[in-house]
Amino acid sequence: MHCGKLFGRTNRERGLRMVFSSSVFLFLFLPLVLIGYFNPILKGRRFKNCFLLLASLGFYAWGEPFFVLVMLASIGVNWLLGILIARHERGLRKVFLVIAVAYDVSLLFVFKYVSFITRTIGLLWHDDSISVNIALPIGISFFTFQIMSYIFDVYYKKAPVQKNYSNVALYIALFPQLIAGPIVRYQTVAEEITSRKETPEDFTRGFSRFILGLGKKLLVANYAGYIADRIFALKGDMSILSAWLGVIAYTLQIFFDFSAYSDMAIGLGRIFGFHFLENFNYPYMAKSITDFWRRWHISLSTWFRDYVYIPMGGNRVSKGRQIYNLLALWLLTGLWHGANWTFIAWGLFYFFLLLLERFTGIEKKLGIFSRVYTLLFVMIGWVLFRAESLPRAFRYLGVMFGRGPGGLIDETFVQCFSNGKWILAAGILLSTPIVPFCKEKMKALGKVYQPAAALVLAVIFVLSLLVCIKSDYNPFLYFNF
């Protein structure tokens, strides 16, 4: 049974997407949106919201307009169910919540996991013709979780129901956080949708934050990514040092790639009067795996905590139930990131680590070595996350720990290290709180601080634009989550 391709093109066959670090966004989309939004004639909130919504839909539709209809339909279903939930106090209230959650989960299942399941069945039956290839809407995990956040916040009365469909659509489709987060809670921005104020200070701070994110992406993440891609793509013998260099480069790439997008999203949101919560807090400085997940992708980990883990009983239950809750939580976390056995293994890997910490307190016994222990296991996890399959992940880990035929060093390591050592060194340094430390020291300079900070931002912006224009290597790791 070969079902072929459904719902448009596959991910590999799609055209170029509009990302914040692309020329079309920086030189065309963003300037036009800023001119239209801050025009001196039409200043009303209704115009600004409608304009921002249309711009956001255009942003999402770039290259694949069909999935805009999927997103708008999902918003419409949840908007209607949200109104029905708000109208009832008991009985039907929970029924409508279940219907909404079932619809949202079904949407994720169809688009994200049906292909994976049929592909797995085909492998088990040794029949490659058993396949249903459904193209994945970009950012579906992010906007679906935001929609569910709206439903949960209305159900638990943490935020008022929104009777205006376009306001709900703006909350979901707002382009700064649409395709890669952070996952914005409805209660966080419910009031700002209708009564926010754009100020010169917010515009300045927002644009500064956007520039810093752009620099992290184009000047650090992409260069680290080039090294990681080259090494992870090796199919022959690989040396121990090459394997370690590859995972170090990927560790830097995924942090600077994703945190850069969060920086740019937070900055753009602030330009338009929205205040999103932080999504990263120097995760590679964590003292434990538990601490790491308090610092990494904060909007996702808190979403799962508040809407899944705590409703299941959290830590207020027996040890056996706690283990079950953790297992369910990390299976879901792994599956959220992707439909592949590598992501499931990655989620289970963190389940075992967190279980170990919870019931043994091993990280406390390690003292000053707790940071080394944490970073080592995070890097091992990134190998599972990055590899195309579990066998390749295990082979790569084997090489890292001396079980490969490639020896200690090879030509790939020499070339990659020679060309990228300064970028990797900068990435390692910037993974620490060195920037806020320097800012505090510079503030002691008094009046010199503001011109100096502006000069640094200008240099980062110009360098980023030059790299954007000249380079055709611009991957984005969280594009399909």
Element (H, E) at 242: helix 240-271
How far is Cα 119 from Cα 242, in angstroms, rounded to an integer?
32
Q: How many helices (H) and strands (E) does the chain have?
A: 22, 2
The strand ranges marked E within 385-430 are: none
Residue 358, phi then psi, degrees to nearest 5: -65, -40
Token pair of 244 as six digits: 């370690």
Residue 198, phi then psi, degrees to nearest 5: -85, 130
Kindly report the CA angle at 89 between 84 and 90, in degrees rounded to 5? Answer: 100
Cβ distance 31 to 157 under 8 Å?
no
Cβ distance 383 to 396 under 8 Å?
yes
Q: Of the residues 2, 275, 297, 337, which is catalytic?
A: 337
How far is Cα 379 from Cα 401, in angstroms, rounded to an integer?
13
Burial class (CB in 10 A: 0-12, 13-18, 19+), 318: exposed
Classify each residue of 15-37 as buried b or exposed e, where b means 16 or more C-beta atoms within 10 Å of its C-beta: eebbbbbbeebbeebbeebeeeb
Is 337 tagged catalytic? yes
How far is Cα 462 from Cα 469, in angstroms, rounded to an integer?
11
Q: Within 10 Å of residue 79's Cβ, how many Cβ atoms? A: 22
DSSP 259-294: HHHHHHHHHHHHHTT--PPP--S-GGG-SSHHHHHH
Cβ distance 300 to 322 under 8 Å?
no
What is the residue type of 166?
A: S
Q: Residue 131's beta-bridge partner residues?
A: 2
How far is Cα 443 from Cα 210, in angstroms, rounded to an integer?
21
What is the residue type of 66?
A: F
391 by DSSP, 3-state: which? helix
How far is Cα 459 from Cα 466, in angstroms, rounded to an integer?
11
Cβ distance 20 to 266 under 8 Å?
no
Classify 318 in phi/psi space as left (phi over 0), alpha (psi -120 to 50) or beta.
Answer: beta
Active site residues per annotation: 337
